[in-house]
Chain A
Amino acid sequence: MELIKPGSYFDFMKYRGPVITVLALMATLSLVSLFYPGPNYGIDFAGGTEVQLAFRGDTTPNEVRTALQDAGYSRPDVISVEGEPNQYIIRVQEVSSLPDDQIDKLREAVTALLGEDVVREMKVSPGGDKITLRVSGEVHEQQLQEALEEAGARVRSLNLLAGSRDTRYEVHLVGVADELTAQLREKFGDRAPDGALRVEWVGPKAGEQLRDAAIQSLLYAIAFIMLYVAFRFDLRFAPGGVIAMLHDALITLGIYVLLQKEVNLTTVAALLTIMGYSINDTIVVYDRIRENMVRVRDKSLRELINISTSQMLSRTIVTSLTTLLSVSAFFFLGTGVIADIAFALGVGIVIGTISSIFVAAPITELMDRRFFSRSRS
């Protein structure tokens, strides 16, 4: 069976203008979408609290969502757990963490009560569920608790840890998960959930760190791949491959953002895979161009690109097709994370195939004309 007749010659370079224009437009749109509407970060990146609750009586997700909105949560996500009636995963952006001005207020209250010299240090945990206080000297616990509560903290318990060197108090605060469960229990009466089946929270600091690490890894991947291409081929090839690769990742991310799918660590993994796949696709075409450059001496680079791309077209399509086949099985049959990864990979593979034909090689030709033409003639 043959998809592409052997010896076919397609003038890809002729159509590069319109195709690149469309792709560039898509890439620009994607770039814009990163700022508006902006990525819908999952709790790994944005920080937030996730609670899984099993209600005792019949409820609908909508009912729970409304109840949460009434309770003042800004954007509650309520997802029913498949196969478990009345079980929901509830995600709110609130973390127990305290805002800076709140922390300042608490600090003022404590210093006002105990005096500047007595308070040696006050730390608030990033999750916002614990305050650690180091003091020298006497503290009236009741007064301390009252002062903290007056400044807006919701104290669950206050413990003294007498150390060998100094005195430490640990104040445990009421967390979002505790509070949320209690509020629902109040609203739903005898249908209410018992307690959280699962609680997960990511402090905003941890989220930021993860995001930075993810961006860092993307940059590293780009740098290493560029180095490798420059080393194995030459400088004319490196920018085309990297631009095509970035373009694929950007457009996939853009589609993700426009569909308001959640961007989380798994998305980063998928993006990196797409970049790997895209460069893989590009390299195969490059490899053929390199081979033809040695074998066919009397053709322009433009023609060489057309010949090489046409020769590899069958392979490009077959590989994309097989990968798409297995990925689509995951998209249609998988759930949750797996379906999300499959979606991202699917989009990336399609875009990557187009870009390896219309973006990478044409940029190489452009590089050649701009910077290397004199040396060739």
Chain B
Amino acid sequence: MDRGWYFRLAIVVGTSLLGFLALWPSVDRWLPCPDIVKETFENQINPGLDIKGGLRLMYEVEVDEYIRDRRDRIAEQVQRQCGVLIGIVPEEEVDDIDKATLAEIQQRCKVERVDKEGDAVRAIRITFSNQEDAQKLSKTWVKDYFRDLRVASGVGDLVVDLHMREEQLTNMRETAVRQSERTITNRIDNLGVLEPTVIARPNDGDIIIEIPGAQESSFERIKSIISRTAQLQFQIVDDESDSRSVFTAPPEGVFLNADSQTFAEAFGEDARDQLRSYIATLPVPDDHELAIGRQEPDPERGGEGWRTYYLYRVADVTGEDLDDASVGFDPQSGSPEVDFTMNTRGASRMADLTGRSIGKRMAIVLDDRVESAPVIQGQIGARGRITLGAYLDRNQLLQEAKDLVVVLQAGALPAPLRPANEQLIGPTLGQDSVQKGALAAVVGILLVLVFMAVYYQVGGLVADAMVLLNLQLLLGTMSGIGATLTLPGIAAIALTVGMAVDANVLITERIREELRLGKSPRSAVEQGYARAYSSVFDSQLTTAIAGIVLWQFGTGPIKGFATMLLIGIGTSLFTGTFCSKVLFDWLVRGARVQRLRVG
């Protein structure tokens, strides 16, 4: 045998060895796998949802919320920029307009957000109070300052409608879904051990999350962590101005604080909801807001307690500037808390905010809930901590701290999520099917092996060796890339085995034909391979096209099916044309068989 053959043999043996090593960690249960192999090949074949059971969640991203958010911010900028337009403030001070000036601007041209239901175009309306100012607005002005907007109607009139540009809306939708996808992936990854698949479909505004094998008891926690918006804000508590006038007579169950009457509190299971309904009815000035946080429980008045905080609306520092978060422990009480660090921008803003507010309280607000409101003792820079209120027991606190770290690290969702579909697949349902599927796979493969050996004799045995090698490589590849094995995936394996034989059938038939023409075994093998290549290649590639399309659009089981099919086509091309040739070459050149029995 020549050098080239040995080289090819080395490739075949090497690949097969690699395939085996990659597969080893997956069959650890039956064939204990040494640690060194496990460390090199970290992945295993993952049983899919239908096999292992698990959780499949589909969320709709409330894209409209995101767009509305953006629109609101733009509306604010428009209001300021109008100040420049009508000549009240100079261009360079547009970001730094004080309250009185803003009121003055609003008097001459008022910017409103227009919310109409079912209105796909998110709109902003400018109302001028005199014709002279109205004349100053032009389409170019809108184009120059606000790329996201276009003039819908009324240039030169007192009332001008601005709409969000269609293409911007599409971009925003895509951004919102992509960002949500990333955030959710990070959050689940931070939970550890689970092997989630997160798929985003921006066109539909959907996100699909599949978590195989999740424990039923952990579902609620996973769901709450996924769907938490996690908007973190730092706001200063206004203890100075008189908030007493804000509180009207509270309904039953809600009390005004006895000493100062500056906040409302409620106790018991429904306390939080009661407080919420109450404060929703209160006339809060525009630059303030009321938020709710935990209060010391009072067993006499019904247990857990909640209270209101009177906050300045501006949030100078938000979770966007967060760099990292971790669980820490209070040095004095030892109770769990969340430590965080800010990035440079956040740190300087934080220093600024705390520097001018020493002695005041700073509320740490997460999704409309005040986590804590410590008094600012001195300037705070990059580092800070969130104490979680001492009103829960230690275990609860620790759990909450951990969950908080997960969501803070992963960042906020750009928009709330709305569940669209939820499937809980019990693992017992899969077990039985898996066993039957595995049995069917074994029987199916055996049938093919026997048939080939009988029909093509030596050629069939070569094909059989290739089928087994193919199977090993297929499973090895799956294990190596950590592919998910689903029920349809098992069916795809069977199909692949059937089709992998096709390459061998084509080649063996061709060799037969060449032998019939009276060629020597050696040249029949050469010719057989040379002539069969194109049909093997073309036929496998066309199947691969169908596989790629499936892989592109499929989710869950279908994607698993496509993955298997594609890997199978790759491995069967390799074994069918390359590996089998090595074996045939040995037969006709090494063993020098005089008669090649190919049926």
Contacts and interface: CB of A to CB of B under 8 A. Distances in A.
Contact of B444 (A120, A224, A283, A330): A330
A24 interface: no
Interface stretch (B189-197, B237-245, B490-498, B584-592): B490-498
Interface stretch (A13-21, A25-33, A337-345): A337-345
Interface string B482-511: 000001101110110111011001100100
Chain B interface: which size bin? 35 or more
Prevailing SS type, chain B contact patch:
helix
Interface string B408-431: 000000000011111111101100
A162 B276 contact: yes
A50 to B, nearest CB: 9
B104 to A, nearest CB: 24
Contacts of B513: 6, 311
Nearest to A315: B509
B576 to A, nearest CB: 12
A284 B506 contact: yes
A327 B542 contact: no
Contacts of A373: none
A81 B426 CA distance: 12
A58 interface: no
B509 A326 contact: no
Given A266-B488, A315-B506, A162 B440 contact: no
A275 B547 CA distance: 10
B112 to A, nearest CB: 13
Greatest chain A CB density within 10 A among B440, B502, B558 is at B440
Given A276-B543, A287-B535, A318 B418 contact: no
B558 A268 contact: yes
B280 A160 contact: yes
Contacts of A115: none
A280 B545 contact: no
A327 B494 contact: yes
B498 A326 contact: yes
Nearest to B119: A121
A2 B455 CA distance: 7
Interface stretch (A65-73, A178-186, A196-204, A364-372): A196-204
Contact of A199 (B117, B277, B424, B501): B424
Interface string A206-232: 100100011011001100110011001
B443 to A, nearest CB: 4
A163 B291 CA distance: 9
B72 interface: yes
Interface in B55-78: 58, 60, 72
B451 A322 contact: yes
A160 B273 contact: yes
Contacts of A159: 273
Nearest to A311: B513
Contact of B60 (A126, A138, A225, A229): A126
B37 interface: no
Interface residues of A, number: 90
B250 to A, nearest CB: 14
Contacts of B115: 120-121
B539 A330 contact: no
A198 B424 contact: yes
A125 interface: yes
Given A1-B454, A82-B432, A216-B553, A221 B545 contact: yes
Given A164-B368, A269-B550, A280 B542 contact: yes
A60 interface: no
Interface in A1-49: 1-2, 6
Interface in A298-336: 311, 314-315, 318-319, 321-330, 332-336
B281 A138 contact: yes
A359 B502 CA distance: 21
Contacts of B454: 1
Prevailing SS type, chain A contact patch:
helix
Contact of B534 (A273, A281, A287): A287
A276 B545 contact: yes
A141 B277 contact: yes
B545 A225 contact: yes
A228 B280 contact: no
Contacts of B561: 269, 273
B488 A338 contact: yes
A206 B491 CA distance: 26
A280 B540 contact: yes
A321 B451 CA distance: 9
A334 B368 contact: no
B599 A329 contact: no
A200 to B, nearest CB: 4
A254 interface: no
Interface string B446-461: 0110011011110000
A221 B447 contact: no
A273 B546 CA distance: 7
B421 A275 contact: no
B541 interface: yes
Nearest to A217: B553
Interface in B514-551: 516, 531, 534-535, 538-550
Interface of A: 1-2, 6, 52, 81-84, 120-122, 125-127, 130, 138-139, 141, 159-165, 167, 197-203, 205-206, 209, 213-214, 216-217, 220-221, 224-225, 228-229, 232, 265-266, 268-269, 272-273, 275-277, 279-281, 283-284, 286-288, 291, 311, 314-315, 318-319, 321-330, 332-338, 341-342, 345
17 contacts: A6-B516, A52-B429, A127-B419, A160-B277, A202-B421, A209-B204, A232-B538, A266-B558, A272-B546, A276-B544, A279-B539, A283-B539, A288-B535, A326-B445, A335-B433, A338-B440, A342-B491
Given A220-B553, A319-B502, A335-B432, 9 more contacts: A1-B457, A2-B599, A201-B421, A284-B535, A284-B539, A327-B498, A329-B440, A330-B494, A335-B433
